[in-house]
Each structure stands twice: as structure tokens, then as C-alpha cells.
Structure 1
Amino acid sequence: MARELTAAKADDGDPVPLEPLTGKWSNTGKSTGRGWIVVALPFGDSADSGPDCRASMNRYDEAPKFMLADKRVPDRDIGVGSGRSVSADRLVVTRDYERTIEQIEADDCPKGGHAGGPN
């Protein structure tokens, strides 16, 4: 069996999982500022009797863009049948995405002056 490689097309009539996800999304209107990330970071020094870490809190807006990368990509696998390995290959659809993040607010606790400001 020969393998044929072709460029992926979003509208070729072949069913694609998550097809409605394709395109650019963004949190606007009532969704503005709904992205949050909180990270514990090392903080202080050995002479300091305060906490050893600080919480860095960042609020952001994001705009992910989802695209079809390829179709019928071989996902090589093996299965076990009757005590021996058998081919369990399957063809999968692959997605790609770009994610743009704009920080709109930041704070840290305890205050250390490391939070930074909006983009």
C-alpha cells in the first residue's frame, strides 16, 4: 500500500473532529479579563523571616486561533492479540493553534514589587 501525502484542506468534505473550533476566538464584551494564572515563586533570602515563596497573580485576555494541521496522520501503535503483537495503527486528524495573551493586571503577595504591569 502506497502512502499519499497531500496538504490539509478544511473544506474537503471529509469529517473532521472539532471542526467548529476552527478560527480565531477572543474573550471580549462580558468575557473580558476572564483569564487568570496564579504561580508560587521563590521569594526572600535566608536573613528574611517571611515566607519562602510569593504568589504571583496575573489576569489576562487571550485570543487563540485554531487551524487544521493535517488529516490521516498515521498514529503507529501495537495491540496484543492471541499472545502476540498485532498492528493497531489508526489515522488521526491533527490541529494546530496559536495563542496570543495580553496581561491586563498583575499583583504579588506578599508585596515584592515584582508583579509587573499590563502589556
Structure 2
Amino acid sequence: MTNQNSTVERQIYPKALQEGSGIKAKGTRPGEITEQSKELDPTAGLNLEALYLEASEIAGQRLTASQQVVMAMANQMSYEDLHPITRAKVDQVRNAANPKFDAQAIADRILNHYRQRIQTA
């Protein structure tokens, strides 16, 4: 036959077909064949650095999930939503940042200080 890959020729010459496809006869019984085992590398053709980075990102999200929920809750809270202890702390900071003063008491102290300086002079 002229075409070596024809179906008829493969049927006539099964040994050539077996060898060409990586299948060989065991030789114990006629027609019994086994596949040649080839080592397969499951990582062949993969970008391992990209896989590692993606796995790290997923693990990082998993490890920080509770903090992300806490931050989302905090972003939605108003003063009224605060825990009483936290509300008291906020009030203390607000009072310290915006001190209330008694103008009359300050004026009295300044005048008393000035009067004492005049009397001693």
C-alpha cells in the first residue's frame, strides 16, 4: 500500500501502529497490549509564581476576613451606634479638643493679677 497511515494498513500491521502510538505488546498473549507509562509533570506549562501569588491573596483575604467585617461595620456606625464605653471616650476627646472656658473667671484672674502688681509698685 502506498499510504502508510491508511486504516487497512493499520489493521494489517498492528505492531507498527502500536509502536507509533506508544502502545506495545506484552508478548505473553497475542493481541494483549499495554500502554507505556509516561511521567506527567502536572506543573508543566504553569506559571508557579502566579499560582503562588494568587493562593497567597486568597489566604490573605481568608486570614483578614474578620477584620474586614469589623471595618465594614465601623464605616457604617454613627455616634448613636457606639458602645457606651466608646461613646464616653469620644465625649472625653471632644471635650478636650474643644475646651469650654468661663470668660468671667478668666477676666477676674487677669484683673486680680493686674491689681496686685499695681499695689506692689
TM-score (norm 2): 0.18
Higher strand share: 1
Higher helix share: 2
TM-score (norm 1): 0.19
* Larger Rg, first or second structure (1 or 2): 2
